[in-house]
Amino acid sequence: MKPPVEPKAEDCCNSGCNPCIFDVYEKQLQLYHISLRGEGEKLLEGENGISQLNYTTFVVTEKIIICDSHVLIKFKNLESHKKVTWSAGDHFLIKYYGETKSCTKAYTPLHFDKDKDSDFIILLKRYINGLVSNFLYALEIGTPTLWRGPYGSFKLFPNKYKRMFMIAQGTGIATFIKIIEDVLK
């Protein structure tokens, strides 16, 4: 296992993520020290096509305009053949670099089983004054973007509840898609 790279202050999105990038770093650092001592199970490295600590480049492969303010954007890592995996309720962070500002923004990844041409998809709502949403909306096919993740702490326990009620607004429904798929499996 390689030592984790300590995140910079600008890597935190200040959105109260659970876990925060700094929490992820601390956990990875503990795992690294355990691996150095030869304790614990063999730590599998590099199985996921996206990393929680390092940005991975994904290019836009397709854009499907739903209406003038919503679009589905498909992304693929052209350099790796590793499958991108995540759990229900997880999100990815995109790194935005502007002329005067850089930031990160969380988006819920989607995947459709029949879609073999992308690693993940996001459902984007474009906001008039939205810095990152306007950046993503304007992306062209082949444009590289930087992503990291998955992050999240939602746990689904099979057969624990008789009913499940879910409330979402707007594109927030994207999170529910994987949760519903997992419940139905």
Q: Report the binding-site residues.
A: 107, 123, 125, 132-133
Tell me which H or E stretch contains 182. helix 174-184
* Residue 103, Ramachandran bin (φ over 0: left; ψ between -120 and 50: alpha; else beta): beta
CA distance linking residue 60 with residue 142, whole number of Å:
5
Q: Is 177 exposed, middle or buried (CB count within 10 Å of its CB: 0-12, 13-18, 19+)?
A: middle
Question: Residue positions in the annotated binding site for FAD?
Answer: 107, 123, 125, 132-133
* Residue 139, Ramachandran bin (φ over 0: left; ψ between -120 and 50: alpha; else beta): beta
Distances (CA, A) of 82 to 50, 74, 157: 8, 17, 27
| Cβ count within 10 A of residue 59 | 18
Asked if 168 contacts 76 with a C-beta cutoff of 8 angstroms, the reply is no
